[in-house]
Amino acid sequence: MTIYRILSAVLGEEEQSDYISYFQGFERFYENGYLGELPAEIEADILKIPELIEIRCRIKQLKSMKSDRESVASEKLNYRKALLRLRIAGLKEYQSHWVRERRDQRILNRGKEEPIISDNNVSTRAQSLIMPEIAKISSLMSSDRELSFDEMLAFVDDLKTLCERDYDVIYLPQESPVVVKRSSLS
C-alpha cells in the first residue's frame, strides 16, 4: 500500500494517483559558497560579549573559592548553552547577510556571476590587478559551469603566461618588456 492510498483513505477521498511521487531536489535553492560556520573574526567577537565574559568570571570565581563541583559544572553548562545560542544566532545573521549581498550583486550584474576572488583583502585584489591571469584562473576554477572551447584556450594561455612569468620583477599590466629571443647563429 502506498502513502497516497493511505492518505486518500484517511481523508475519505477517492484514491488519487496524480500526486508528485518523486523527490525533485533542492538544486534551485542551493547557493554555491554558502558557509556553514562563522568566520574567525565574528567568532572572536562573540567571545567578547558581556554575557559570556560575566559567566566566565563567575566560573573563575567559583573555582577560586573552591566551591562544590556541581555549581562549577552548572555554571560551565550555562556558559556552553549561552555560547551555542549566540553562535547559532550569529551564524544565521551572517548567512542571511551573505545571501542578501549575493542577491544584490546578482541584480547589479544583471544575473551574471561575478568572478570569485578567494580573499577580499587588499593584497589579493592588488595581485589580481597586477597579474590578471590569476583573477581569470581563479574565477574559472571556482565556476561550476561548462567552459566553451575558446574559454578553455584562454584558460590554458593564462596558465602558460603565469608559468613563464619572471617573479623577480613585477610589471604593471601592458607594461612588461618585450623579450626578443636571439638565434644561436649570431
Helix (H) or strand (E) holding 99: helix 69-108
Which residue from 142, 113, 139 is spatially nearest to 128, judged by alpha carbons? Answer: 139
Residue 38 contacts residue 94 (beta carbons within 8 Å): yes
Residue 161 contacts residue 180 (beta carbons within 8 Å): no
Per-residue pLDDT of the chain (186 residues; tens, 9 = 90+): 566 677 777 777 777 666 555 566 666 666 666 778 888 888 999 999 999 999 999 989 988 888 888 888 999 999 999 999 999 999 999 988 888 888 887 777 766 665 555 556 677 677 777 777 777 887 777 777 788 888 888 888 888 887 877 667 776 666 766 666 666 555
Helix (H) or strand (E) holding 4: helix 3-11
